Chain A
């Protein structure tokens, strides 16, 4: 299998880039489209490119049918046809095993009822991403925000463009299509920025996320042999693992696209600095939460607008239920989504009282309040991650009960060295903890010393002096070689 972190990928990228540059402008879309299908077929899952092709065809036909229909009834029929075709694909590939298993459980109660066959679990990497992008396009065309694309090749490329195919960002047609059609002029800065961004992404994934994952997997792979404190720290670590994993992937996707002069949407903006759950969702997986906001939450909120105070909470609950289900067919994701829905509903309902409270205690705009809000938001998010990470609802329940029951015992464990030895695998993999500790330390100090200039890569690369820039490149490459975790793990968000 070839993903961004595999050794074959650089070879693939160099080949694609060379052909792309050699071919005249009018044929370049075909190079990228061909490369994207090739990239997808390297997963060696025979049916996936077919599913992708079917989604493209259905989306193309539906959008042009909408555009050419004169009556609003015909437009609606055309829109629903495209919508249902895409949703059917998604359900068929991703949700059939879950649906049949649970249906079987329910009808198992009826005596003498014939058993239903349980659908096999299929690999569905990428499907939920391109289907959601296709839906966004169809809704934009149907609601009149965009015209349908007549050029089949460009529409296909918009849906498949390989840097974003497997894990997003989910792009709106108005953002990506004009860039795909623009004439390619070589810009050294784009190549350089793309390259470095890809390198930073690799570092986040191979050095940080995968290493943190070793500790998390040890605990979450067998929660019943761990105690409250270990579970707590494994949950914190998971919050960082999933951030570095997914934002690392996004850096790589944006970096590769940038080499072709294409700017994909940013997906992360320091999510754990958020002061509320609502803000967290404006900073975490931004392209996806924007999708939910534009195409699900806003319409629902309008539909429910006469329900007075309850309209918005109801729309939030439905939206985040869908978000949970989008992440995968399991009850853990459903609970995770609902939890976020409940957090947000509660904050909408309590907001007026919260304001009064802050005024009463003169906390408005104080740094204490801000610090508390960041702390509370991070912990609410971590609490929900438990359901996201735990293998089953039973595991999640175990983790939560161990966290909150027996507080006295937990405090005792906090000062017990065996707890830490077990958590950080001192006996089994002592090197991993030392490296993680060292690398995080260097990053932390470096970020502070540089006045956070590393964080803004683009500014760093354009403003800093050449020797410093090259020093950072060398350190980055060395760190990647020396500190990467042996035996690569897949990206967490591949499964969605």
Chain B
């Protein structure tokens, strides 16, 4: 399940009012989520959860559900 906290970080970074974000949601489904904003989202997550991703972990991600699991495993 995508937590409210993660959802809010993503929406804030993309400057979106609201968007339905589920486990299966991929970047290409969300307006404005391109390679540039992707970095913004990752650094915003790192700051607010006080964690650090490895580059390979980020590249491997296929959807938001997987992102949530990596965060859960780290925090």
Within 7-49 of B, Cβ neighbours of A (below 8 Å) are at: 35-36, 38-39, 42-43
> A391 interface residue, CB < 8 Å from B?
no
- Selecting from A229-237, A297-305, A358-366, A475-483, the interface stretch reads A297-305
A312:B39 contact, CB within 8 angstroms:
yes
Residues of A within 8 A of B58 (CB): 302
> Interface size class for chain B?
10 to 19
Quick one: closest A residue to B34, CB to CB? A278
Asked whether any CB of chain B lies closer than 8 Å to the CB of A441, the reply is no
**Among A143, A145, A293, A305, contact of B39 (Cβ-Cβ < 8 Å):** A305
The 0/1 profile, CB within 8 Å of B marked 1, for residues 285-305 of chain A is 000000001000111011101
Give Cα distance in the complex from A301 to B58, angstroms: 11
**Given A299-B55, A305-B42, A305-B43, does the pair A143, B35 have CB atoms closer than 8 Å?**
no
Verify if B59 is at the interface (C-beta below 8 Å from A).
yes
Does B60 reach chain A (CB closer than 8 Å)?
yes
Other-chain residue from B35, B53, B56, B60 in contact with A301 (beta carbon distance below 8 A): B35
Point out the residues of chain A lying under 8 angstroms from B39, CB to CB: 301-302, 305, 311-312
In chain A, what residue has the closest Cβ to B35?
A298
For the complex, is A348 an interface residue (Cβ under 8 Å from B)? yes
Q: Tally of A-B residue pairs with Cβ under 8 A?
A: 30
B35's contact among A144, A145, A297, by CB below 8 Å, is which?
Answer: A297
Using Cβ atoms and an 8 Å threshold, which residues of chain B touch A311? 39
B35 pairs with A302, CB closer than 8 A? no
Contact A348:B35 (CB < 8 A) given known A298-B59, A305-B43: no
Q: Which residues of B contact A144 (CB under 8 A)?
A: 60
A144–B58 Cα gap in the complex (Å)? 12
Q: Is the CB of B36 within 8 A of A143?
A: no
Across the interface, name the chain A residue whose C-beta is closest to B46: A305
User: CB within 8 A of A143: which of B42, B43, B53, B60?
Assistant: B60
For residue A143, which residues in chain B have a CB less than 8 angstroms away from its CB? 56, 59-60
Give the complex CA separation of A190 and B6 in angstroms: 46
Q: Which of A144, A297, A305, A306 has the most CB of B within 10 A?
A: A305
Residues in B with CB closer than 8 Å to A303 are: 55
- Asked if A145 contacts B60 (CB within 8 A), the reply is yes
Whole-angstrom CA separation of A302 from B35 in the bound complex: 10
- In the bound complex, residues from chain B placing their C-beta under 8 Å from that of A312 are 36, 39
Question: Closest CB-CB distance, A115 to chain B, in whole Å?
Answer: 43
Query: What's the least CB distance linking B12 to chain A, in Å?
Result: 17
B55 x A302 contact (CB < 8 A): yes
Most chain A C-beta atoms within 10 Å of own C-beta, residue among B38, B42, B55, B60? B55
Nearest CB to that of A145 among chain B residues?
A: B60
Chain A residues with Cβ below 8 Å from B55 are 299, 302-303
Q: Which chain A residues in 358-378 approach chain B with CB under 8 Å?
A: none
- Cβ–Cβ < 8 Å partners of B36 in chain A: 312, 348
Q: Which residues of B contact A298 (CB under 8 A)?
A: 35, 38, 59
| The one of A302, A305, A306, A348 that contacts B59, using a Cβ cutoff of 8 Å | A302
CB-CB < 8 A to A306: which residues of B? Answer: 43
A379 to chain B, nearest CB (A): 24
Q: Within the assembled complex, what's the spacing in Å between the Cα atoms of A9 and B57? A: 46
How far, in angstroms, from A144 to B56 measured CA to CA in the complex?
9
Docked Cα-Cα span, A243 to B39, in Å, equals 33
Tell me the bound Cα distance from A178 to B36 in angstroms.
Answer: 31
What 0/1 readout, one digit per residue, does chain A (79-93) give for beta carbons within 8 Å of chain B?
A: 000000000000000
Chain B: minimal CB distance from A306 (Å): 8
Q: Which of A145, A301, A312 has the most CB of B within 10 A?
A: A301
Let me know if A302 and B42 touch, CB within 8 A.
Answer: yes
Interface string of A52-90 (1 = CB under 8 A from B): 000000000000000000000000000000000000000
Bits for A130-149, please: 1 = Cβ < 8 Å to B, else 0: 00000000000001110000
Given contacts A299-B59, A301-B35, A302-B39, 12 further A-B contacts (CB under 8 A): A143-B56, A143-B60, A293-B35, A298-B35, A301-B38, A302-B53, A302-B59, A305-B42, A306-B43, A311-B39, A312-B39, A348-B36
A-B contact pairs, 9 of them (CB 8 A): A143-B56, A297-B35, A298-B35, A299-B59, A301-B38, A302-B55, A302-B59, A306-B43, A312-B36
The 9 closest A-B pairs by CB, nearest first: A302-B55, A305-B39, A299-B55, A305-B43, A301-B39, A302-B58, A143-B60, A144-B60, A143-B59
Which residue numbers of B lie inside 8 Å of A, CB to CB?
Answer: 35-36, 38-39, 42-43, 53, 55-56, 58-60
Q: Which residues of A contact B (CB under 8 A)?
A: 143-145, 293, 297-299, 301-303, 305-306, 311-312, 348
